[in-house]
Amino acid sequence: MIQNHLLQVLAVVAMEPPAIFDSESIRNESVKVLQALRPINPEDVSQYVVRGQYIGTEVNDVLQKGYRQEDGVASNSKTETFVAMKLFVDNWRWSEVPFYIRTGKQLPNRVTEVVIHLKPAPHMLFKQGGVHSNNMIILRIHPDAGVAVDFGMKIPGAGYKVQNVNMAFHYSDLAESKISEAYERLLLDCMIGDSTLYARADAVKASWKFVDPILQTWKDNPEIPLYFYECNTWGPNESNSLFNVKGMKWHPPFSKFKTN
């Protein structure tokens, strides 16, 4: 999921605008992002990457098996079913801006979502107790594709208290017919010769160049922790350690969009 899905999403979000809107130009720009990923040195893997594995849990009065209880899985398996990562894109635009990605199995919902935190203004007039509102753009990819903006608004009346409000747009509101599922769209693009959403060979090579050293470090250093998490949760709490900002943690899916 990291190598062939999430890094592709990251590349599209972080790429520069293409000169023209065609398949080759878009893929030219996205591969530049993958080639600019800062390598994670073996000694830093534990600092920038958290891996986990789901364990047996009672969900809605039903006992859900843990990964090690699944058919064909070794009782001492250290295969990760959850990964969270902090990474950097070393180029002019994104220098020292952290990107956070996570993916896992047996989470509460199957959701693909991008949350963009906007940089605070240098001088914030409206704040309460020293805490600033958190302005965000949310890009929902699946399900219920859409775009939302979450921003701080001063509460009417005396004082300077700020409350977060939001506006959400759903692509289904524009569609005249059913929106294609992900692989339906890919199959159609293949038939009409549109390669925009397909990973090019140089992009695949760049993403594996980034991911392979992490996998090799886990293989060579079995003492690196594998954290356990219960089914129907958002992964091990240790994944919040990737944030070095007080009070920052992973966001649950944006509530204005549907989940499945």
Q: Compute CA distances 51 → 71, 81, 202, whole Å.
A: 22, 8, 27
Distance of alpha carbon 131 from alpha carbon 71, whole angstroms: 49
Catalytic sites, residue numbers: 5
Which 3 state secondary structure label does DSSP give 146? strand
Omega before 17 cis (within 30°)? no
The pair of structure tokens assigned to 239 is: 């994944």
Measured at the CA of 144, the angle between CA 141 and CA 146, to 5 degrees, comes to 60
Distance of alpha carbon 145 from alpha carbon 239, whole angstroms: 26
